[in-house]
């Protein structure tokens, strides 16, 4: 399988993908023939740029040319919800998230969201922009338990706490959970 993770971070910091890749490999059985790649948006407002689709298309083309077995291709759009209720930007954030969800639905992409930002899910706190890459590098150096706690299995961001995500639910549809972990 080709798993393409489209993330908000830029290709220099790679911070979002570091968290996702570490968690993916800690909780799911990744087969040797599985290919896991990232596409960097450099801000979620760039989600529908032609260059993003071109990069996804290039990864698929390369995979099809080299893969001998499983030809499944899954694109995961991994997006921070940001604040959806408390600030003046909440309505704009909600509108943008809705546009991204529609974009993913039309293209048959999976939408993974982080309520409010990815660092809150993995670190329990927000991180300033200039420290995101350093924090992510420190995180991947640590031992991470292979578990699928409830904060990774939230179905509706409107009903979930800050620091939660639907990532475990989405990925469990495409990967085998290690050690038969239960999403509860």
Q: CB under 8 Å to 174, separation ≥6 — which residues?
A: 1, 3, 72, 74, 110
Q: Is the pLDDT of residue 181 over 70?
A: no
Phi, then psi, of 57 in degrees rounded to 5: -60, -40
Which residues are bridge partners to 6 per DSSP?
39, 77
* Confidence at 63, pLDDT banded by 50, 70, 90: very high
Tokens of 147: 């578990």
* Confidence at 145, pLDDT banded by 50, 70, 90: low
For the sheet containing 2-7, what is the strand order? Answer: 35-40, 2-7, 73-80, 110-115, 164-165
Cβ–Cβ contacts within 10 Å for residue 14, how many?
A: 18
69 or 118: which leads in pLDDT: 118
pLDDT tens-place string over residues 77-101: 999 988 767 777 778 888 899 999 9
Span 169-180, average pLDDT? 84
pLDDT tens-place string over residues 22-52: 999 988 999 888 999 999 999 999 999 999 9
């Amino acid at each position: 399988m080709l798993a393409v993770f489209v993330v908000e971070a830029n290709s220099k910091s790679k911070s979002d993908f570091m968290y996702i890749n570490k968690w993916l490999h800690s909780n799911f059985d990744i087969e040797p023939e599985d290919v896991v790649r990232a596409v960097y948006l450099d801000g979620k407002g760039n989600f529908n740029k032609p260059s993003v689709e071109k990069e996804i298309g290039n990864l698929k083309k390369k995979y099809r040319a080299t893969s001998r077995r499983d030809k499944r291709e899954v694109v995961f759009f991994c997006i921070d919800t940001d604040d959806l209720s408390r600030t003046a930007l909440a309505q704009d954030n909600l509108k943008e998230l809705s546009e991204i969800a529609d974009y993913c639905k039309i293209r048959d992409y999976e939408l993974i969201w982080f309520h409010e930002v990815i660092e809150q899910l993995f670190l329990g706190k927000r991180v300033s922009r200039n420290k995101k890459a350093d924090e992510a590098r420190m995180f991947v150096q640590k031992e991470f338990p292979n578990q699928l706690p409830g904060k990774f299995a939230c179905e509706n961001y409107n009903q979930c706490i800050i620091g939660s995500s639907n990532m475990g639910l989405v990925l469990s549809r495409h990967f085998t959970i290690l050690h038969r972990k239960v999403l509860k």
